[in-house]
Amino acid sequence: MQPKGGVNTHIQGWLLALPAAFLLAVFTHIQAVATVIDSCFSTPQERRPAHFIGLDQYRSMLADPIFWRAFTNNVVYALITVPIAIGLALVMALWVNGRIKGRAALRLAFFTPTILPMVAAANIWMFFYTPGYGLLAQIGGLFGFGHANLLGTPATALPAMMAVTIWKESGFFMIFYLAALQQVPPDLYEAARMENASRLQVFARITWPMVMPTTLFVAINALINAFRIVDQVIAMTGGGPDNATTLLLFYIYQVGFSFWDLGYAAALSTVLLGVLGAVAIAQFYLLDRKIHYR
């Protein structure tokens, strides 16, 4: 069936989506393909144009200890920050979704870190971490603790950065969970009360299954965020000490813009895109089986 104008509805839909599809292709997909192609060429010099070198960049990557350090740091970073941020966001959403006094102010307090630029948040936490006169040092001094240099010690630098990420992203993910909780049918909770179900049973049998679509969305975005952090590293540690906080995107930034090795940076970017794509697909199919779509 066709509308009065005589244009098929499917054609109308594609025409409406065409501007967004064009921008997505130009600024995302075409650039991704170009990056993969560039990774097979050497970096052009002033008097030496780029030439095809095949997989040499990837062979160099396998022998690069800094790449493996950055990759390991990023995996640890994601494994710790993603589940903690998601769990904390769900707890906060459950709390502010209840009938409590000052609920609006509490929601605002949880969401406020999200609106701060990452560089501003990093500088705030650098003041917290400053040895001697920072906020944490002042509080620790009241209880007799020493003035530890958290960002200057390899064992504590990465966990200190993880705390900033969790603090900043939990409030953002809370908004999605709060919206999901408000869409749960009240009849389900009423039926659970009639059955004298405990709070744990209500959460496990009703709340958690109903917010699983949101969990899938939040988990994929949290994973992508964990692998694309660069401004926080630049502002807080510069990758140090001893590459303890060097993450993949920061290393790509160093290789591409500090060392000006564009071919190797393209190879690193290709690996990063491949890892993110593979993990996101696996995450989607594993969680999708446990999701109840309404």
CB atoms within 10 A of CB 272: 20
Distance from C-alpha of 256 to C-alpha of 254, rounded to nearest angstrom: 6
- The predicted-structure confidence for 6-59, as pLDDT tens digits, reads as follows 467 888 888 889 999 999 888 888 988 999 999 999 888 877 888 889 899 999
Around 77, how many Cα atoms within 13 Å sit in the side-chain half-sphere? 30
Distance from C-alpha of 160 to C-alpha of 154, rounded to nearest angstrom: 10
pLDDT confidence of residue 84: 96
Domain 66-288 in CATH 3.40.50.720? The answer is: no
Nearest to 111 by CA among 174, 180, 36, 157: 174
Q: Which amino acid is at 221?
A: N
Q: State pTM to two decimals.
A: 0.87
Task: Domain ranges for the chain, please list them.
Answer: 66-288
Q: Which amino acid is at 28?
A: T
pLDDT digit string (tens) for the chain, length 294 residues: 455 544 678 888 888 899 999 998 888 889 889 999 999 998 888 778 888 898 999 999 999 999 999 999 999 999 999 999 999 999 999 999 887 888 888 888 899 999 988 889 999 999 999 888 888 888 887 787 767 888 999 999 999 999 999 999 999 999 999 999 998 888 988 888 888 888 889 898 889 988 988 998 899 889 889 998 999 999 999 998 999 999 999 999 999 988 889 999 999 999 999 988 888 788 777 766 666 555
CB-based burial label for 222 (10 Å; 0-12, 13-18, 19+): buried
Q: Is 228 helix (H, G, I), strand (E, B) or coil?
A: coil
Contact predicate 247/70, CB 8 Å: yes
Distance from C-alpha of 98 to C-alpha of 293, rounded to nearest angstrom: 24
Structure tokens at 254: 């160093």
Q: Which amino acid is at 98?
A: G
